[in-house]
Amino acid sequence: MIKKALWLVVVILTLCEISAYKYLVVSPIPSKSHSILGDALVEYLADAGHEVTYITAFTPEKVSPRVTIIDTSDHIRNFPIDATFNLKSFMDGTVTTNNFMTFAPLMLEISRATLGNSNVRKLLADENQRFDAVIAEWMYNEVYVGFAGVFNCPLIWFSSIEPHWMVMQLIDEIPNPAYSTDMLTADSIPPLTFRQRVVELYTQIVGRLAQTFWLSGLERDVYNEYFVPFIRDRYNTVPPFEELRYNASLMLCNSHLSMNTPIRLPANVITIGGYHIKPNIKPLPEDLQTLMDNSKDGVIYFSMGSNLRSKHFPDEVKQSLLKMFGKLKQIVLWKFEEDLPNRPNNVHIVQWAPQQSILAHKNCILFITHGGLLSTTETVHFGVPIIGIPVFADQFVNVGRAVKKGFAQRVDLSYSLAADIEKAIRNVLDNPSYTTRVKELSAIYHDRTVPPATELVHWAEQVVKTKGARHLRSPAFMMPWYQKMYLDLILVLLVVLLIFYKIIIFFIISVTKRVNFILYLHFPCNVYEYGSIIFS
């Protein structure tokens, strides 16, 4: 009996061994929300039995023994994103980040720093190191394709936002800008007006030109400097950057149809929006549980996310917010990084908020948020209407969509924030349609064939199993644009028409010459002149 059981264990272990792959996950953006996505990705792959090497700026609290961390936490010091994204500076207009031209170089600097990091260099230099696939987060440049070059394995892109034109061009083609918008264009939510369509076309053309004539060169330099020596150490040939850049096998996107624009997608774009939310929500800490259970008029939860700090609100704004919240009959739970003196009785501070557990509580009736994608996703997951105060990056798009979908009010960051929020609270709470709408979307969001995490693991495995999933590659991707637009056909037709025209002219001329000759024989001189006037 024991022998049999031992055999079974051996068999199971061997089976596990066979189907366990080695992944390299590259997600070192020094921003908490990005690391939440990276951590979840790594956790699911490790739970599925795979070995994962994880390049990250934040070491997760709990790591599976199958996970090896490559620490790039020096990014947190060198790129203090938290300090840059200061609420007061946004209110005073002293920083603007919603611009590709400032965003892209910053992201390239972070990528360069990742590749210069000594732990990462050690990994790249280790010639015994092998991976079955690389999963790299796309963040406004493509230099991480070099990892696939060094380890000679398939590449999977991970996009922390929905499939937009910049990532679609890496795997399929640029969708039509008339209905598929750039993620930094603040106000363009399809259907677009004439002006928005023109702005969108302009933005995408300028972005594309900037990539072609400016960023691509910088990226190629980074590839040559940081990857090519390691590739040369391992292999005889070095693939050009452009070849690797357009060679990804798959793209995982953190989006779902209940939230983003449902544009057509090629077979190798897999949307896994909401995968970071675990099926078992952690219970609330006891004090919060009691507070929320006993709130007979409901709880309003207020958080500006992990990058923006409420403590950076100017003092007068903090005071007016406290005063306004004090007038409400609901309990207000404010994620605030330090203690706030003179708080009204119904306002409670949490320095760190278990956001998902709060939103999951049935008494949470409204979420006041900066409109980050994780917060927006969680609010749809749990079915809570929002007041969105967008500040930077994709937050304008996220809040704009939520407003259009009918479960949000937008409030702009300004010194009259308290009064504007007060009005919005009244609108949302007095009008049941906001809650109804978000519950409907939540039902759509949950109505899937399999959970997003299952999808993620399945496709990551399929790429390895099928040696790069070439069968998923979009035919559009491998075709030059003039062929897709049939410009070559138009050229052929033009040539045919031209030849046809020449033949007809030739024919007419020879006929007239003959007619003229006959006419000349009968009526010499004057009619011949008359004819040549007509036909010449």
Ligand X SMILES: *[C@@H]1O[C@H](CO)[C@@H](O)[C@H](O)[C@H]1NC(C)=O
* Contact residues: ligand X, CB under 6 A: 154, 239, 243-244, 247, 249, 468
Rounded CA-CA distance 59/70 in Å is 9
- The minimum distance between CB 239 and ligand X, in angstroms, equals 4
Q: Which is nearer to ligand X, 21 or 85 (CB)?
A: 21
The tokens describing 138, both together, are: 């796309």
Q: Which is nearer to ligand X, 10 or 267 (CB)?
A: 267
Q: Which is nearer to ligand X, 47 or 243 (CB)?
A: 243
The tokens describing 182, both together, are: 């750039």
DSSP for 27-49, please give it: ---S-HHHHHHHHHHHHHHHHTT
- Closest residue to ligand X using C-beta atoms: 468
- The minimum distance between CB 151 and ligand X, in angstroms, equals 10
Q: Which is nearer to ligand X, 170 or 304 (CB)?
A: 170
The per-residue b/e assignment along 195-217, b for 16 or more CB within 10 angstroms, e otherwise, is ebbebbeebbeebeeebeeebbe
Q: Which is nearer to ligand X, 127 or 297 (CB)?
A: 127
Q: Which is nearer to ligand X, 146 or 531 (CB)?
A: 146
The tokens describing 476, both together, are: 């559009």
Rounded CA-CA distance 357/303 in Å is 14
Q: Which is nearer to ligand X, 452 or 468 (CB)?
A: 468
- The minimum distance between CB 157 and ligand X, in angstroms, equals 13
Rounded CA-CA distance 426/431 in Å is 8
Rounded CA-CA distance 390/37 in Å is 20
Q: Which is nearer to ligand X, 244 or 365 (CB)?
A: 244
- The minimum distance between CB 467 and ligand X, in angstroms, equals 6
Kindly tell me the sign of the dihedral angle through the C-alpha atoms of 287, 289, 294, 298.
positive
- The minimum distance between CB 274 and ligand X, in angstroms, equals 28
Helices (H), 95-187: 100-116, 118-125, 145-151, 165-168
Residue showing tokens 């790069």: 468
**Shortest CA distance to 178 belongs to which of 194, 154, 158?**
194
Q: Which is nearer to ligand X, 133 or 360 (CB)?
A: 133
Give the Cα-Cα-Cα angle 435, 441, 443 (nearest 5 degrees): 105
Q: Is 379 helix (H, G, I), strand (E, B) or coil?
A: helix
Residue showing tokens 């006959």: 518
- The minimum distance between CB 421 and ligand X, in angstroms, equals 50
Helices (H), 303-416: 315-326, 355-360, 373-382, 395-405
- The minimum distance between CB 462 and ligand X, in angstroms, equals 12
501-506: list long-range contacts, CB under 8 Å, 24+ apart.
none
- The minimum distance between CB 266 and ligand X, in angstroms, equals 16
Q: Which is nearer to ligand X, 103 or 246 (CB)?
A: 246
- The minimum distance between CB 148 and ligand X, in angstroms, equals 6
- The minimum distance between CB 393 and ligand X, in angstroms, equals 31
Rounded CA-CA distance 69/53 in Å is 6
